[in-house]
Amino acid sequence: MVATTRILVLLLVVVPLMSAVLVPLCGHLARRMALWLALLHLTLTTIVVLTSLPVLNLRAETELSATSPDVHRFRPLFVPGDISGSEGASGRTGWTLMRLSTSVEYPDRGGPNFQFYLGVDGLNIWLVALASLMVIPAILVSWNSVRERPGAYHGWLFLLQGAAIGAFLAFDILLFYVFFELTLIPAFFLIGHWGMGSGRRDAARKFFLYTLAGSLLTLIGVVGVVITNPGPDGAITFSLPDLMANVQLKLNTAQHELLNGRPELLTQLQQTQFWLFLGMMAGFLVKVPVWPFHTWLPAAYGEAPTGVTILLSALLAKLGTFGILRFVLPLTPDAAIQYGLPVLGTLAAFGIVYAALCAYAQSDIKLMIAYSSVSHLGFLVLGLFAFNTEGLSGAVLHMVNHGLSTGGLFAMTVFLTDRYRTTLMSQFGGLMGRYPNFAILTFVLCLASIGLPGLNNFVSEMLMLGGLFDARNPRSPGFGLAVVAAIGILLSAWYILTMLQRIFFNPLREPQAVLPESTDLSGREWLVLGLLAGLCLLLGLLPQPILDSMRWDIHQLATIGHEARIRVAG
């Protein structure tokens, strides 16, 4: 069973990449072929999730009660090419893509070789499931709107999905960066060629240049982490679990030196971490995006086809927050404690309020949802840098919840553009009586975005608020940031409910319909909106399976954060 699941984990990346080549060759059958391949991928993902959950839950139950190890590290499951002998015991793979050294002294080590190192753990399994799921709404909402070269369009969608899943599954730091950068190419062509407005090429260019510039700085930070954290034997590695161990061993040594009255080593390490933290965060801040690095987002989201916008909001934004979770926190923990909430948390808190006010000022529904996404992602960044169990658990859960609710809101706009070719709020009124089914599902998605109890965002937002209230990071305005985040939730209710009031209530008002007889939800629209609304309700009522599956991995990060607090506090 383990060997089969390893093959399935590999297929989670290979199938979308192969689909990106196959679908453009299918001519007029491209849309149907794309849908069947997306359903196949979702089936494979479901099998991997169902296989992984018992192992993740058992690991949490058995190992969290045992004595905590001195070194905390990720331990991926179902690693393709695993040569460790026991599943996930040492985090090794034998699949080397590029040998950067002629030495064979460490044949079972991740470095100094660039390896195809994939694996599953509690932090990435649900993001992979999200990436597998959200391609289906992206295909269905584009069914009638994308007429020009549909094969190429769906091929780029699959390449975007495959690159995102590869980044989520990667445990080699260079492999993550390769997949991270690969997402830029399909996104650039999808926005620039199939965009809906006259400014689509400018939006695509701005998106590409912004994210590329930040990513190059992230590459410098990544290389710096590898070079400055060799193993005890002097061997460098690109394996994330090994890098985590190397970082902690150096910090533990520095802490012993501090206790012996020699603080120089710890001071030097923390200064080095600051520059590495700054470099890695540059690309992640743009990708999230956090204010003031968000200016590419409204144009890209507004000009992109709605199917592409769904993937941009649900997947690409999560690559930034996932990069913080997977790399920044475990590899530069002292810098994350020192500068996370005081500096980046302040930027994120300002962005929460600023983006919420911008969302209220928008007349276009799609742009309102785009600014709403910036506001919610700022909240997510606060939860990450709280660097404790509640904040981290809420942040990982919110990555999934935000993808579902915001993706659903963008999918909702397709109903209007298919019938009226506009999403301007001033053009609509009284649609509740005209389209009652559409109104009900839109209400569910909007209330989920607000964070209504019983729906998905409520659980993750309350966990992140709890993490901020309990953040004990030195010099951190945790309580004040929690208040700002709560104000952001209130503001989101303000602009979302205002939008609902303008569109669905008041006297009936609608522009000239494109379709001769506009009807309520079609079967395809029922599937998209009903699926996403149902999942928002399900995760609001039953979030515990997701939280249980990530318990062990969250504990590793939270313990690293706790030890970093002790060092920073002296």
Share of the chain above pLDDT 90, in %: 23
| Residue 84 confidence (pLDDT) | 64
- Segment 251-280 shows an average pLDDT of 80
Distance CA 515, CA 214 (A): 44
Predicted local distance difference test score (pLDDT) of residue 399: 92
pLDDT tens for 468-496 read: 888 777 777 767 888 888 888 899 999 99
- Is the predicted pLDDT of residue 179 greater than 90, yes or no? yes
Which of 492, 205, 482 minimizes the C-alpha distance to 371?
492
- Decide: 362 and 369 in contact? Cβ < 8 Å: no
Q: What are phi and psi of 98, to 5 degrees?
A: -150, 125
**420, 502 in Cβ contact below 8 A?**
no
Mean of pLDDT values over 194-205: 78
Q: What is the per-residue pLDDT across 42-72, written as a single tens digit (0 to 9) for each?
A: 999 999 999 999 988 888 777 766 556 667 8
**Quick check: helix, strand or coil at residue 288?**
coil
Note whether 377 and 288 are within 8 A (CB).
yes
Task: Please write down the HEC assignment for all residues of 311-322.
Answer: HHHHHHHHHHHH
Where is 514: in which H helix or E strand? Answer: none
Would you put residue 153 in left (φ > 0), alpha (ψ -120 to 50) or beta?
alpha
Helix (H, G, I), strand (E, B) or coil at 27: helix
Residue 484 to residue 351: CA distance in whole angstroms: 10
CA 73, CA 559: separation in Å to the nearest integer? 10
> In angstroms, rounded to a whole number, what is the distance separating the alpha carbons of residues 324 and 312?
18
Distance CA 395, CA 541 (A): 18
Look up tokens 């009031």; give the residue: 501
pLDDT for the residue numbered 66: 59
Q: Per-residue pLDDT averaged across 140-151, rounded?
A: 82
Q: Rounded to an integer, what distance in angstroms lies between the CA atom of residue 410 and that of residue 442? A: 10
| Higher local confidence (pLDDT), 100 or 504 | 504
Interatomic CA distance for residues 77 and 452, integer angstroms: 35
pLDDT at 85 over 80: no
Average pLDDT, integer, range 8-16 = 92
**Each residue of 362-387: pLDDT tens digit?**
888 888 998 888 888 888 999 899 88
The two tokens of residue 515 are 């379709």
Show the tokens assigned to 277. 């933290």
End-to-end C-alpha distance for the chain, whole angstroms: 48
The mean pLDDT value for 162-190 works out to: 91
> 193, exposed or middle or buried, with CB in 10 Å at 0-12, 13-18, 19+?
middle
Distance of alpha carbon 14 from alpha carbon 28, whole angstroms = 24
Q: Residue range 122-140: average pLDDT?
A: 92
Residue at token pair 């018992």: 54
Residue 109 clears pLDDT 80, i.e. is over it: no
The angle, 0 to 180 degrees and rounded to 10, between the axes of the packed helices 478-504 and 436-450 is: 170
Q: What is the pLDDT of residues 320-334, one digit of tens each?
A: 899 999 999 999 998
146: pLDDT strictly greater than 80: no
pLDDT bin (cut points 50, 70, 90) of residue 87 is very low
Mean of pLDDT over the chain: 85
- In eight-state DSSP terms, residue 236 is -
Residue 86 — very low, low, confident or very high, per pLDDT cuts 50/70/90? Answer: very low
Task: Please give the model's pTM, rounded to 2 decimal places.
Answer: 0.90
Query: Does residue 165 surpass a pLDDT of 90?
Result: yes
pLDDT for 216: 87
For the cut 80, the answer to whether the pLDDT of residue 515 exceeds it is no
